[in-house]
Amino acid sequence: MEELTMSFKKITILSLVAAGAFATVATTTATPTQAAKKTTITAITDGNVAPFAVKEKSGKLDGYDVDVLKAVVKKLPQYKLKWKIAEYDALLGNIDSGRADVGVNHFGKTAERQEKYLFSKPIFQDKPVFIVKKSNNKIKSFNSAAGHTTVAQVGTGFSLELEAYNKTHKKNPIKITYVKDYHDLQDISQGKYDFAYTDLSMYKAEQKQYKINDVKAVKLTNGKGGTKFNQPYTYVVFGKTAEDKKFQKAVNKELVKLAKDGTLTKISKKYLGANYVPAVLKN
């Protein structure tokens, strides 16, 4: 009977050891599963701002801003990227409501926006131009554009600059027509407006697509003729939650690395034909 009791004890001890070993294995194998969990980041754009964010016929999103964020997230294994498309005037509202985490749409920075959103380090440096008819040799600066007509979307960096000029030149302001969507080159060619305010890279992208021969781009110089650029950069826009701040910090760190190793320059040349990566990003 004693021998039987001893055997039972041995079996019990061995069972407990085996159970413990199994628990250890189970715990060990659970860790990689937990580590594999990724935070989904929803990026929003209107897909209608060439060559920065463009929705192709296939449904795929391309463009400088889009590929920059893709390149960044590729270096951040703890995150995965999901894209969402909405109308331009609803982009920031989606971030406000939590339906999107970041905005990627050639966004400029303003004091008002900084109160509500976080911004990445600058990802693009503007080279502002006025688009006018080739026969127009009068409009060369903000001062010479005073009293003339132009077109803009509400809340863009370009429209904000025009509005800032008008605030200090109320007697003879630039006449701005706000629309939901427009085509700079065609509108100027057809005489709908006297000029359009845009970026050189955007002008070149439209010329490549539409080939409008009777318009030209007039480069603007900061500080001359009433021309003043408060922020010649564009950014990725984030919400202001704790998770948003964490993601912003990670993005900024990778942006500097990608600027220094030449990745951003390659993306810029692919979509813009030249290097528009801000020099301050490499400092």
Q: What percent of the chain has pLDDT over 70?
A: 86
> How many CB atoms neighbour CB 235 within 10 A?
23
Q: Where are the alpha helices (DSSP H) in the chain?
A: 2-35, 64-74, 91-96, 111-116, 142-145, 157-167, 184-189, 200-210, 242-260, 263-272
Last residue of a domain, one of 174, 189, 219: 219
Reported as a pLDDT band with limits 50, 70 and 90, residue 16 is very low
Q: What percent of the chain has pLDDT over 90?
A: 70
The answer to whether residue 31 is domain-embedded is no
Taking 50 as the threshold, does the pLDDT of residue 54 lie above it?
A: yes
Shared domain check, 164 and 132: yes
Which pLDDT tens digit goes with each residue over 182-235?
889 999 999 999 999 999 999 998 999 899 999 999 999 877 777 776 667 899
The answer to whether residue 241 is domain-embedded is yes
The answer to whether residue 34 is domain-embedded is no
Helix 64-74 with 263-272: angle, nearest 10 deg: 160
Residue 10 token pair = 């041995």
pTM of the model: 0.78
The answer to whether residue 264 is domain-embedded is yes
Residue 207 token pair = 């010329």
The answer to whether residue 226 is domain-embedded is no
The answer to whether residue 27 is domain-embedded is no
Task: Identify the domain containing residue 278 by its residue range.
Answer: 39-125+233-282
Q: Could you check whether the bond before residue 51 is cis, i.e. omega within 30 degrees of 0?
A: yes
Shared domain check, 270 and 144: no
Shared domain check, 74 and 144: no
Residue 177 token pair = 């027509």
- Residue 87 CA to residue 95 CA, distance in Å, equals 13
Contact 99, 41 (CB under 8 A): no
- Residue 156 CA to residue 89 CA, distance in Å, equals 10
Shared domain check, 121 and 43: yes
Which pLDDT tens digit goes with each residue over 64-102?
999 999 999 999 999 999 999 999 989 999 999 999 999
Considering Cα of 43, then 47, then 63, then 82, what sign does the dihedral take? positive
Predicted local distance difference test score (pLDDT) of residue 282: 80
Shared domain check, 87 and 60: yes
Predicted local distance difference test score (pLDDT) of residue 146: 97
* CATH code (residue 154): 3.40.190.10
Shared domain check, 93 and 54: yes
Shared domain check, 145 and 111: no
Reported as a pLDDT band with limits 50, 70 and 90, residue 34 is very low
The answer to whether residue 50 is domain-embedded is yes
- Residue 74 CA to residue 80 CA, distance in Å, equals 8
Last residue of a domain, one of 176, 197, 219: 219
Name the average pLDDT for the chain.
87
Number of domains in the chain: 2
The answer to whether residue 24 is domain-embedded is no
Which has the closest alpha carbon to 203: 127, 111, 102, 279? 127
Which pLDDT tens digit goes with each residue over 20-32?
444 444 444 444 5
Predicted local distance difference test score (pLDDT) of residue 169: 95
Last residue of a domain, one of 169, 186, 219: 219
